[in-house]
Amino acid sequence: MQSNTKKKTVVVVGGVAGGMSFAARYRRLNLDDEIIVVDKNPYVSFANCGLPYHISEEIPEREDLIVVSEKTIRDRFRIDVRAEEEVVRIVPEEKKICTETKAGEKKEIAYDILVLSPGAKPIRLDIEGLASHPAVFTLRNIPDLDRIKGALAGTQPKSATVIGGGFIGLEVAESLKNAGLEVAIVQISDHVLPPFDPEMAVFAEKELTDHGVKVLTNNSVEKVEGKKLTLQDGSELESDLLLMSVGVAPETGFLEGSGIELGMKDGIKVDEHYRTSVPEIYAIGDSIIVKHTITGEDVMIALAGPANRQGRQLADMLSGYDHDLSGSLGTSIVRIFDRAFASTGLNESQLEGRNYQPIHLIGKSNAGYFPGSEDILLKLIYDKDSREILGAQAVGKKGVDKRIDVIATAIKAGLRADRLQELELSYSPPYGSAKDIINLAGYFAENVMLGLTDPIQISELADYEKRGHRVIDVRTAKEYERGHIDGAKNVPLDEIRDRLDEFEKDEKYVVHCRSSVRSYNAERILKAEGYHVKNLDGSFVYFAANFPDRIVRD
C-alpha cells in the first residue's frame, strides 16, 4: 500500500464510470490525499446506459439516472467535485491543467498525479443540409436526454429517424416507438447490430419490423431539407426528429500540445499500468486503447463495465496493489422489444485468415416441459487448431445474458470449446435444463472435432446443391407441410431406416431438421450405412430466417 507520509493531489479529468470508480476506490485506499474531479458536464455520476429508457419513461424519474449526487460524493468521500468546468489544456512540465468554467472563468489546477477519463463523444455526420432540420440530436449524457424529452413534450413529434443500428441506436429506436412515434432506422451496412454476424442479426431486424419499426439497411442519409431526408437509394423520409447514433470517438481534443501519445482513432495509448507517454499522467475508460483478450491487438471498447474495472485497477496500482490485466472482450447485450441480443469476443468478420469453426444451436431457457420456457439461439465460434473459444452470439426472450456471461467467463479462463460440456450449471426446471445449451455447445464442438458430424453453414447450402448434394428434411410430415426448403425431400427421422432404399450410394446428401439435433441422428444412421452426408448447421430455423425466399409453404 502507498505510503501517505506526503499528501498528494490527484486530479481526475472526467467522472461517470471510469473517473468516479477510480476516485472512490482511491479514496478508500488513501484517506489523506486530495482528490479533485473535473468534468465539463453538469453531472459526474449518472447512469449513461439508462438514458434511452427515460425517453419512453420506462425509467419514470429522471433523478433515478443520477447514481450518486455531488453532495454525497463530497460528504462521504471528501472528493472535490468541479462540474461544468472544462479542461482546455494540460501543461505537463508544470504539472498543471488549465480549465474554464461555464461562466467563462479561467483556472489552473496543480497535480501530483493526473488521471484522464474524458470518455467519448458521439460522432456527428457531415450531411448536406443537416442544419436545416429543426430537431437533430445525439444521446450521450443527461443534457442530451433533456433536449430530446423537451422536443417530445414541446412539438409533440409524430415521427423519428435513427441513423445507426448499433446498440444505442436500437435502444433509442425502441424507446421512441414505445413513446408513440413512427420510427425508421437507417443503417449503412447490410445489417443492424454490427457486433453480430449477419445470420444472427437478421433476428434483430425481424424483431424491429414485427414491432412496426422500419429498417433500411445498405443505406444512408445523403441530404436533409427541413424535415425531408433523402437517402442514398433515392427514397425519401419525412422525420420530425433526427437521432444520430453512428458510434463514438475519444474525447481527446484537449490533449493537443500535451505530448501525450495518441493512436488509433485518436485514442490514448497506455501501457499495462494505464500510464500514458507522459510521466504521472494516466488514462482509463472509453478514450483509451486496450488489448483484446483473444487477439492481443489494439482495440477501442466504449463500455461501462471495462471503464469501471479500469478505474478500480488503476486506483489499486497507484496504491501499491498490482493487477495482471487480461484485456477486454467487448461483452455486451441489448434488449430489442421482446428479445435480448448478446455477444462476446470476436465475430466472423474479425477472423479473416484464422482457421475457425462456427456452430449454431437452438436450446431452451429452462426445461422445455416447464411453462414459460423460450428458445435460445446460440452461435459459438472456436479455433479449429487450438480449440480456443473465439466468440459467441445469442438471441432469445429469456436466459440470454446468463449464457453469454458464462461463455465470456470461459474465454477469460482459457477454457476450450469442447470443455463447455464439463461446466456444472445450476439446474431446476424453472431456471435451466439438465443439459444446458452451454453444455450442448460443448457436445456439438466435440462431435465436430471427433469427426462425428460434418456441418455446413446455411450460406453454403446453395453451393453444395450446385455440386449435386440433395437436401433431405428429416422433420415430421406436418412440419414439412408448414414450410420447407425448396427442393428438399421429406424423410422423417423415425422412418429413415425403413426407407434406405430411397438413398443412393453414389449420391451426396445434406440433412436438416429444425435445429440440427434430429438431423445429426440421421447423419449418423446414413453414414453408418456408407452414405456421404453433411449436416446443415442451424437447420431450418436459421435457414428460413435468412433465406425466406427459398421457403415453400403448402
Catalytic residues: 49
* Strand 484-485 versus strand 469-473 pairing type: unpaired
Grid cell at residue 181: 412515434
What's the CA angle centered on 512, arms 530 and 380, to 5 degrees? 105
User: What's the rounded Cα separation, in Å, for the pair 197 and 349?
Assistant: 7
- Helix boundaries (H) for 133-269: 142-154, 167-178, 198-210
Non-local (6+) Cβ contacts of 324 within 8 A are none
Non-local (6+) Cβ contacts of 204 within 8 A are 170, 191, 192, 193, 196, 336, 339, 341, 395
Give the three-state DSSP class for 19: helix
User: What's the rounded Cα separation, in Å, for the pair 102 and 118?
Assistant: 17
* Strand 298-299 versus strand 332-336 pairing type: unpaired
Non-local (6+) Cβ contacts of 439 within 8 A are 420, 421, 423, 425
Strand partners, 116: 13, 283
User: What's the rounded Cα separation, in Å, for the pair 116 and 274?
Assistant: 10
User: What's the rounded Cα separation, in Å, for the pair 394 and 404?
Assistant: 7
User: What's the rounded Cα separation, in Å, for the pair 437 and 82?
Assistant: 49
DSSP state of 166: S
**With contact defined as beta carbons under 8 Å apart, do 239 and 185 qualify?**
no
Grid cell at residue 42: 453538469
Other residues' Cβ atoms within 10 Å of the Cβ of residue 487: 11
User: What's the rounded Cα separation, in Å, for the pair 125 and 187?
Assistant: 13
User: What's the rounded Cα separation, in Å, for the pair 301 and 139?
Assistant: 18
Among all chains, which residue has been given the C-alpha cell 469453426? 357
Instruction: Pick the closest to residue 446 from 410, 420, 477 (CA basis).
Output: 420
Give the three-state DSSP class for 128: strand
Grid cell at residue 495: 422412418
User: What's the rounded Cα separation, in Å, for the pair 531 and 496?
Assistant: 13
Other residues' Cβ atoms within 10 Å of the Cβ of residue 486: 10
- Per-state percent for the chain, helix, strand, coil, to nearest 5: 35, 30, 40
> If you count them, how many residues does the chain have?
554
Cα atoms found within 13 Å of the Cα of residue 319, Cβ hemisphere only? 20
**Four-CA torsion 114, 70, 100, 33, nearest 10 degrees:** -30
User: What's the rounded Cα separation, in Å, for the pair 48 and 554?
Assistant: 49
User: What's the rounded Cα separation, in Å, for the pair 270 and 247?
Assistant: 22
